[in-house]
Structures are given as structure tokens and as C-alpha cells.
Chains A and B, each alone.
Chain A
């Protein structure tokens, strides 16, 4: 009964446009006061403080900072030039460049919104000039940016790792194959649409041009090698890898390319700091509620309730997929991970699902949520850059969302796709 009251109160507060982080805190404080009296509330400060001190989450502002430096220092332009030299000759060349540049970007940045803003501001106007319909330009940029959340490093994966107690490094490794596969499938869809609509090519393939672009982008390509190589080899932790990414981006962007735009960097750092704070306040207030839910054994009761209904692993995965897809329609991915993952983890473990595999399932589900209105921040950013209507873009985006759904089904029901490199190197 108390739980139902808490859920309804939470819903009412969210509908009143009270920030979700604060809504969680208000509900938790009422529960604390009801069980331990007003005096119990003084614990709230300690829980909020310790809840905001999660060391592993330091990687979030650092990866955002590394991405900001990359975008302010000419690294992004060089990656786009390289992608253009490699795939620009295929029909729908600029859209192909968008997908492949997103793949490069995703290996350095962990943020889909940052990717769509950085790539979209260059490639969407370019596509429009070459006669691509604006909704298509926005849709391909938006959906391919979502690949950033499954290709390491990924901020949702870091959050999932902390909330579920899974290895962030294993999650990163599990994202590699689905990420590359998703990129290739998206290129397939671009090719199909390009042929159907007669989109242009960007000149013939020239080995010399590839050579020049590769030489120009060589240092930029070194960034993911440093970041991911360091993390995957165990030389540094994910958080330390994020710190190294910042240093490497400064050295390459500022020292080698000498194009660091300090004003842009300041703005991006500020935005990154605020984004981190927004997520971390959620983490901190969810710790308040989490304490209460754990005491009331809510996650265990949810697990028992569903296991009594079915203990079939595939059915439970299907149930969780539908649930996360629904959640993704209305909640931003970080909020969804922080709120839902701790509650469903006992069920996931009881059903014998590998938490790392489930991490990929959750991340992909919420990646799809970034593309599906009403709450679809990546799509909204792409529409804002393209100055396009969100519903017009959504009509074209259906093709790309279909790729993401296909990826989700593959990752869910063929665990070997994400898990084989994890099994090979880490178990």
C-alpha cells in the first residue's frame, strides 16, 4: 500500500514538472519521516553526500570534457574528411559520411547529444546544400549518433555499471560488435534510400585522397587507441582512461593541430559540468529512495512476483524489453537507468541473465528511446540543428529506428553477439 502511494506521489510530482531528481527526494523524505520521524531526516544530508561521491562516475564529466576538447580543436573536421574520403563515393555519400563519422566519434565521445550537435552542425547543412531532404538529413544524423551509446566509451554504460555493480570495462567491450554491426546496417539503409531517391555521390574514390585524409587524421585516430587500449588492456581504469582522454585531446588538439578554440571549449566544459551535475543529482536523490526500497525489499519482491509468473529467461527478457521501450518513450536514458536498473537487477540475476549482456539490452532500449517522441533528446537536437519538424523527421527515421530495433532483438536473443569478446578476453 505504501509503495503504491509512493508511486502515485512520484507520478504526480513529475507531472507537476518537479524535476525528477527532486521528486525522488521528496518521496524518499516523506517515507523516511513516516518510518523514523522528523529526526530521521537529518540522515538525508549524509545519504545525499555519499550518493554523489561515486568514484566510477567521475568518468562522466571527463569523457564529456574530452569530447568537448575534440569538438573545439579541429579533430572532428579531420574525422569527417577521412570518412568522406573513405565512403563519399558510394551513392548517398554524405549520409554515408555521417554514419561512418558517427562511428569514429563514438569511440572518443560518450554522448549522443554532443555527437549530433558536433556532426550535425557541419553535415546537415552540407546535405541540405547537396539536395538531400531536410527530414532525411536530420534522421540519419540523429540515429547514427545513437550508436555512440553502444560503442565505447558510453556514459549510459558507465551509469549502468555503477547502478548494477557490473564491470564497466566488460560493458564497453560488449558494445563493440553490436556498435559496428549497427553502423553497417545503417549504411545499408542509407544506400537503399539513396538509390530509391537518387541521392548524389561525392566524387570517385581516390586512394591518394584517402592517404592525405588518413595522414591528417592520424593523431585524431590515435585518441581511441589511447583511451580504449588503456582501458581494455587493464593499464588504467575507465575513470583514469577518461582522464587520459582529456590529456590526449588537449595535446593533439592544442599542441599538434593548434586549433583549440578556447571560447568554444569553455562553453562546452560548462555544459558538460552542468550535464554531469544534473545526472549526479539524480544519482544522489535516488540513493535516498534506494535506501528505503532496499529496506522494504521492493526489488526482491518484484523479482519474486515475476518469477512466480514465469521463470523463462527469454520471456523475462521480452518483458523487460517492452518495459524499457515504454520507459524510453517518457524518460531520459540516465533517469531510466538510475530509477529502474536497481529495481530489476534481482530479477535479472534470478533469471540467470548475465548483467553485462543485460546492460547492452538496456542501453540499446534507451538508445531507441532517444529517437522516439515525446521524450527524444537526440532527435530533438538533430531537428533543432536541421530546423526541421520533429514529426516529419520521425517519418523518415522509422527506417533507422527499425535498424536499432533489429539490433536490439539480435543482442537480446543472440547473447554471443555482444558477449563473445567479453568471454574471450575477460572470463
Chain B
């Protein structure tokens, strides 16, 4: 059951990340082409920045599912189960609390935004663009909970049906 749910969540987040990355490339290229043709797109910067924000939070949830966020696992992983497991729970509590507060804060802002719209595209409500914060935070919490049993089982455990190499490849330093 958990495995099927996890696979479904993974597919949905992968679809979002692939779509957003592709959309980002398309928007930037269109922006250059139209500017060079002397017909600059007024919405280009704003839409590209929004796509990046969306990629940040939906991609962060996918990274949470793979436990690929940058951290320092060496200390906790090196301990025996008697010490490791309470520390895992404590660490998880901080992560969940942070995203719960973020989801709450995002929801409050959602209410405050009212009928505000984008500057360059007045028909696009700010509520739509900023929905990524509460939704992304909730997705992060779900991803964290779904992948918790694998962390609980220990660093050598890969019984989740997910190729562990997928997680390895998404560590931070790909960006270096």
C-alpha cells in the first residue's frame, strides 16, 4: 500500500518537475527570440521566475521522497539503532514542524492576497502563483512521512522498490 502510494506520488512529482523544467527552457528561449525580433514579451521575466519558484517547491518534495536534500547524515547513520532512531524522530519533528508552519503561513497569505494579479498578466491571480507555498509544504510533509520507514530501517535499506541510484544522482553537488 505504502509502496504503491509512494510510486504514485513519485510519478506525479516527476511529471511536475519534468514539465516545469521544460517550460522554463521554452519560456527563456521564447523570451530571447522575441526580444531579438524586436517584440519583447512583457511577461517573460515574471513567468520564468514563477516557474523557478514552482520548480523549487515541487522539486524539493521529490528530493524529500528520495532523501536527497543536502545534510550531514554521517553522525546519525553511524550510531547504533538505540541512539539513531530517537535522533531520527527528533530530526523529523523539526522538518515536519517547519513545513507545517510554512503551510500555515502560506495559507494565511493566500487569504490576504484577495484579488491581486500578476503585473504583466493581469488575468493570472497571485493566489494561483503563490499556491505553491502551502501545496509544496504539504507535499514535502507527505514525502517525508512516506520515506520515513526507509530511513528508520537504516542506511543500507533499499526495500522500497525505488532504485537507490536515483537518489544518489540528485545530491547537491550536481550544481557545482
Contact surface of A with B, Cβ cutoff 8 Å: 13-23, 25-26, 29, 41-46, 48-49, 52-55, 57-58, 60-62, 64-65, 110-114, 117, 149, 155-156, 159, 236, 239-240, 242-244, 246-247, 266, 269-284, 330, 332-335, 366-367, 370, 374-375, 377-378, 381, 384
Contacts and interface: CB of A to CB of B under 8 A. Distances in A.
Contact of B175 (A19, A44, A55, A334): A334
B28 to A, nearest CB: 3
B132 A273 contact: no
Nearest 6 A/B pairs, CB to CB = A277-B59, A377-B173, A243-B28, A19-B69, A280-B56, A45-B105
Contacts of A52: 52-53, 56-57
Contacts of B25: 61-62, 65, 243, 246
A242 B45 CA distance: 15
A44 B105 contact: yes
A25 B17 contact: no
A415 B56 CA distance: 36
A19 B172 CA distance: 11
A332 B176 contact: yes
Contacts of B77: 17
B133 A49 contact: yes
B98 A22 contact: yes
A17 B17 CA distance: 25
B49 interface: yes
The prevalent SS among residues of B at the interface is: helix
A150 to B, nearest CB: 11
B176 A244 contact: no
A300 to B, nearest CB: 28
A277 B102 contact: no
The prevalent SS among residues of A at the interface is: helix
A21 B175 contact: no
A18 B170 contact: no
Given A16-B90, A278-B175, A366-B176, 18 more contacts: A14-B72, A16-B91, A20-B69, A29-B98, A45-B108, A45-B134, A58-B51, A61-B21, A64-B174, A110-B175, A111-B175, A244-B32, A271-B170, A274-B68, A276-B175, A277-B58, A277-B62, A278-B70
A247 B22 CA distance: 11
B130 A49 contact: yes
Interface string B151-176: 00000000000000010111111111
Contacts of B105: 41-45
Contact of B69 (A15, A278, A333): A278
B132 A60 contact: no
A58 B97 contact: no
A246 B28 CA distance: 10
B102 A44 contact: yes
Nearest to A59: B28
Given A17-B91, A25-B102, A236-B32, A113 B174 contact: yes
A69 B120 CA distance: 32
Nearest to A50: B53
A240, A270, A366: most-surrounded residue (chain B CB, <10 A): A270
Contacts of A65: 21, 25
